[in-house]
Chains A and B, each alone.
Chain A
Amino acid sequence: MSLSLFIEQSLNGVQLGVMLFLMAAGLTLVFGIMNLINLAHGSLYMAGAFFAAAFIKLTGSFVLAVLLALPAAAIVGAFVEWAVLRRFYSRGHLDQVLVTFGLILVFNDVVRMIWGVVPVPLPPPDALAGSVHLFEGVFYPAFRLAILAVGALVALALYFVVSHTRVGMWIRAGASNRPMASALGVDVELVFSLVFSAGAALAGLAGLMAGPITAVQVGMGEPILILALVVTVIGGIGSIRGAFVAALIIGIGDTFGRVLLPPALGSMVIFMLMAAILAWRPKGLFPVHG
């Protein structure tokens, strides 16, 4: 492997890693705080991409489309949380799996009804359409660099919010001790709704950023959902820090696995990584509760 290829693949790996982190952050917070397994999280990723595509068509501006798509994804998330999922926080995991599985089917069909089965175009903004000459012989698509930057910024912001603000304190209190949190006067229901909507917005952000480099189509959220679940499990369910570290491990591991190994093995690398890490630490790298 030449140095330039190595750099390029490293950037690809980190870029996949930050996308996975955006997905896994919502998953892990929702699980850590509400004790809810949300298989429909990939649908919010899909929603983000479709909203962005629709708003670009409407406004012609990528930036505007992003600014509209994020709250739209958050609203969808808030609605689903309010209408359905809120009833399932205290139910068993099997019920949660079934309900969110049912939601996936509904989401997919709704998208099919509105946009059809043919992939919808989502062009990157003109300013980021080209490649950047990083150094001697290494070109890299500007849009992918932008994803990297945005993802890193959001990760930093999220870390700051969770560990240094009052809202973050509520979130952490809610995650570790719900009755205590509500005894302290935290409006737990409001925190739940906020967290779920924020997770939906992050998933939507990941989806709309992935749109221009993959395809905006029905079911696009499911492969990334699986990877995000792997990230969540490896990082330790409920841990933002764990999700970040695991996302980078999986992003880089998956990218290099596919480049270096024959396809049958390359596609299995991350699952092997997961098995190895869990055999060593069954509760993930950064377990939240004991």
Chain B
Amino acid sequence: MVDSALKPAETGFIARTLRESWPILVVLALLALAPTLSSALENPFLIRLFTRAVIFGMAAVALNFVLGFGGLVSLMHAGLAGIGAYTVAILAFHDYDGSKLFGVFAGTGNLAISIPLGMLLSAFGAALTGIVSLRTSGAYFIMITLAFNQMLYYFFVALQQYGGDDGLQILASLDLAGFDISKRATFFYVALAALTLELLFFARLVDSRFGVILRATAQNERRVIALGIPPLRYKLAAFAISGAAAGLAGALWATGQQFVSPSELSWVRSGDYIVMAVLGGMGRVWGPVLGAIVFVLLEAFLPSWTQFWQAPFGLVVILIVVFLKGGLIDLVGAKGPRAPGGGGH
């Protein structure tokens, strides 16, 4: 566990980012070419694939803030992302049919309203469940977050008005600050920009005073208390921030698909996010983006080789745990720095 992000940074933020995080800059630049590539190859499937990778990446980065830096193994991030997704979809639903939510609120297709609201509600959901789950630790925390994920899942399944099991189609036209997001390429760039901003935000956050306390708590909570810092409120705030970011990913997901379904909230998806974070590397804010890209590619291409692709995928997961402790980050050479506390004892 070497956390060299806490070495005194003589150089500025930009120089350090170039030195330590060049792989993600390359990846983001390559991603930006995806729409061009997609239209050159006349293969619209590609852009959908990379949109999926970018949005899964956002959710996995959100998760990794508490997982890799806070040592909190949360199995409810699919549920938290789902809150954001359903916020966008339900507001669009009421906008389309003109009815009112709870008989009071008008719906809206304006994402400048519904996305921030979705993030807020996701943060609120994270904080509320965090009050219970963060008072426990280790195995209890994992099982409780898993249970809360399923609570959210069953809650949305039970909302028959909004499609229940079948999911909810977004029929209203969505508007985001005048961008024509019905175009796949435009929406892809919006998502990519959101991912970039999210990475920048979390990169600053983990090095801030707040981030230092979170990382210290993951390494040695007892010591943090002895220093005079009560950890619970920091963990709670971190969980809420992570929830908001997951909510953003979910809201964009709903926007891009024009559809939400409870299956995106299932706990298996939460497990997928953990796999992405671990696969990419938890030691860096951007590690999970690599994991998400690999995950989406495997998910897209394994089934074309075999109908039974989940078994090899499961074996890949097991092998990662056994052999690739530092994730793909270690392979691309940005080696060394590791975030603390991933073990979550």
Contact = CB atoms under 8 A, between A and B. Distances in A.
Determine direct contact between A and B, CB below 8 Å.
yes
Contacts of B159: 264
A101 B271 contact: yes
A97 B274 CA distance: 9
B75 A97 contact: yes
Contacts of A91: 343
B337 interface: no
Interface in B129-169: 129, 131-133, 135-136, 138-140, 142-144, 146-148, 150-151, 154-155, 157-160
Interface in A88-107: 91-95, 97-99, 101-106
B225 interface: no
A94 B139 contact: no
A187 B75 CA distance: 35
Interface string A97-121: 1110111111011101100000000
B274 A105 contact: no
Contact of A230 (B147, B271, B313, B322): B147
Contacts of B151: 267-268, 271
A268 B142 contact: no
A266 B310 CA distance: 33
Contacts of B315: 102, 106
Interface residues of B, number: 49
B27 interface: no
Contact of A267 (B131, B133, B136, B155): B155
Contact of B147 (A109, A274, A282): A274
B213 interface: no
A84 interface: yes
B222 interface: no
A208 to B, nearest CB: 23
A282 B135 contact: yes
Given A106-B314, A113-B308, A267-B155, A97 B132 contact: no
Given A92-B344, A98-B275, A226 B320 contact: no
Nearest to A223: B150
B124 to A, nearest CB: 15
Contact of A229 (B147, B274, B310, B343): B147
Given A102-B317, A279-B131, A97 B147 contact: no
B114 to A, nearest CB: 21
Nearest to B313: A105
- The A interface is mostly helix, strand or loop, or mixed, namely helix
Contacts of A102: 313-318, 321
B73 interface: yes
A282 B150 contact: no
B267 interface: yes
Interface string A139-157: 0000000000000000000
26 contacts: A31-B139, A91-B343, A93-B142, A94-B274, A95-B321, A98-B275, A98-B278, A98-B320, A98-B321, A106-B310, A109-B311, A109-B314, A226-B147, A229-B146, A230-B147, A233-B144, A237-B140, A264-B155, A267-B151, A267-B154, A267-B157, A271-B150, A279-B131, A282-B135, A282-B136, A284-B140
Interface of A: 31, 35, 37, 39, 84, 87, 91-95, 97-99, 101-106, 108-110, 112-113, 222, 226, 229-230, 232-233, 237, 263-264, 266-268, 271, 274-275, 278-279, 282-284
Interface of B: 67, 73, 75, 129, 131-133, 135-136, 138-140, 142-144, 146-148, 150-151, 154-155, 157-160, 267-268, 271, 274-275, 278, 308-311, 313-318, 320-322, 342-345
Given A93-B73, A93-B138, 13 more contacts: A37-B142, A92-B342, A92-B343, A97-B73, A97-B271, A98-B275, A99-B318, A105-B310, A106-B311, A108-B311, A271-B150, A274-B147, A282-B135
